Chain A
């Protein structure tokens, strides 16, 4: 059985983001770029399924610019067998990304697609659910545990009140939450090996998918800063301030 894992190249989670002076977007020129952390967890999970002999092949896919090849090499170094880049320079809305992924699913015929539950740049949290709907497959989002037995999958999901367990049958789409696993570090030999693994590049335009723009960004602004606070010397003065100055208790 084949698993497809979708990975996105995003600004590293440690980078402090600044808005461009003309408010057209955020300044990412020269910023450190990395694999979206949730996608890394998805890759790790796929590799673990392969190591447990539940899966025969792990294919990583990314939708993005040529630079996304780095991120795909990263997935290969973690243990994916091959990679596919659907190349586009456009900043696509989740619906269009999901449509391109659907086209890749049709080429690759995986039984399971794993993705991160959200990308830390747009924080939209849509692509997995949209892909599942486009394919008319079942879905389990925010997975913190996956149990695969033949064509049956049991997924523990993180929900607002705690945890929920859902049953699905393959094919299915699952999105990874933070506590699904802790991704391994790629070792130097594996990074070297990854350079030789196959990485196919497909032009997004060649997939005959409707990629018309859906969302227009009008401006991007800094949130209004909080006014400077004060340090209080001890608990007594804290309570005093909360009672008499802020009047919140």
Chain B
């Protein structure tokens, strides 16, 4: 009984979150296979075959998966599932969308957002915005699990798995992607960046947010934001960090003008080093910060950027 990991990709590159999911999968059992479903996705399958710990790549290359609907992907995964003890994917927007449908097709529960594997059937997952960690045992025969990237290191390179091509089952056409509006950025991807500089409501406007960009550029960092900053339209929703946004754990997280609501902390409190810049010494963000600077961000941030020059 192997472990099946469903890859996330854009037909060109494998998303880094899949590598974290593979690391979690390796802890669940010995035989880890990756499913790559897409259109003209041979490069992704080749990348997947080189991931350490992967023993087989299943590649389904078909028009149906050019832009995958959760309904069709779940049908595909369910058709491959017999013979696997675990179905695993990254707990990204993509993974969260289709995986519960797979669980229904197999009539089993799903364990979401795990950050630890204690036994093949026992997992650790945050609840209440990370205020508590639950250890749960999945009682169903097949475990359907989504993996929070920050809980596991990325699987290393070094595999050499065979690639097997599978035929695609018929799509069901229940939903259709009309288009995507993606935030393009030359900066590192938020969930995989070594450094994140995040701005909050205090920035006041998208114009002012440029001081965050300038600091991020100096540090080769990704840019993040609080919900308040996204709601106010300073930056795209793709930047939101928190319980209902992205979960990040970079080596360095710099929170600028962010108060530190629990819903924000849920997305960044596992960062290795946290720096907070806030003019209110009572702001809760200072309770999780390794280095705190009580200052007006409009002075401190440009000064910091210059100092790094």
Contacts and interface: CB of A to CB of B under 8 A. Distances in A.
Interface of A: 11, 13, 16-17, 19, 26, 38, 93-95, 98, 117-118, 120-130, 132-134, 136-142, 144, 154, 158-168, 172, 177-179, 213-223, 226-227, 229-232, 234-236, 238-239, 241-242, 246, 248-249
Interface stretch (B26-34, B49-57, B105-113, B198-206): B105-113
Interface string B275-298: 100000100001011111111000
Contacts of B274: 226, 229
Contacts of A214: 108-109, 138-140
Contacts of B227: 178
Contacts of B191: 160
Contact of A163 (B103, B139, B180): B180
B274 to A, nearest CB: 7
B293 A238 contact: yes
A164 B112 contact: no
- Looking at chain B's contact residues, the main secondary structure is mixed
Given A26-B131, A126-B112, A238 B304 contact: yes
B38 interface: no
Interface residues of B, number: 85
A163 B238 CA distance: 8
A161 B180 contact: yes
Nearest to A227: B290
B129 interface: yes
Contacts of B237: 144, 158, 162-163, 179
Contacts of A138: 69, 71, 174-175
Given A159-B93, A162-B236, A220-B127, A95 B181 contact: no
Contacts of A230: 290-292
Contact of B128 (A120, A144, A231, A234): A120
Given A130-B104, A179-B231, A231-B292, 11 more contacts: A122-B127, A129-B97, A130-B100, A130-B110, A139-B175, A141-B96, A166-B177, A167-B176, A214-B108, A218-B136, A223-B269
Given A132-B101, A162-B181, A229-B291, A216 B136 contact: yes
Which residue, of A134, A160, A162, A172, has the highest number of chain B Cβ atoms within 10 A?
A160
B136 A217 contact: yes
B108 A229 contact: no
Contacts of B110: 94-95, 124, 126, 130
Interface in B70-128: 70-71, 74, 92-94, 96-101, 103-105, 107-113, 122, 126-128
Interface of B: 69-71, 74, 92-94, 96-101, 103-105, 107-113, 122, 126-140, 174-183, 191, 195, 219, 227, 230-231, 236-238, 243-244, 246, 251-252, 262-263, 269, 272-275, 281, 286, 288-295, 300, 303-304, 307-308
Contact of B177 (A132, A164, A177, A241): A164
B286 to A, nearest CB: 7
Contacts of A231: 281, 286, 291-294
Nearest to B227: A178
Nearest to A214: B109
B273 A248 contact: yes
A162 B240 CA distance: 10
A239 B137 CA distance: 45
A11 B133 CA distance: 16
A93 B131 CA distance: 20
Contact of B244 (A177, A218, A229): A177
B132 A124 contact: no
A241 B290 CA distance: 10
B104 A95 contact: yes
B169 to A, nearest CB: 15
22 contacts: A38-B244, A117-B244, A121-B127, A123-B243, A132-B71, A133-B101, A144-B237, A159-B180, A162-B182, A167-B175, A168-B176, A179-B237, A223-B132, A229-B289, A231-B294, A232-B292, A235-B307, A238-B293, A239-B308, A242-B291, A246-B291, A249-B308
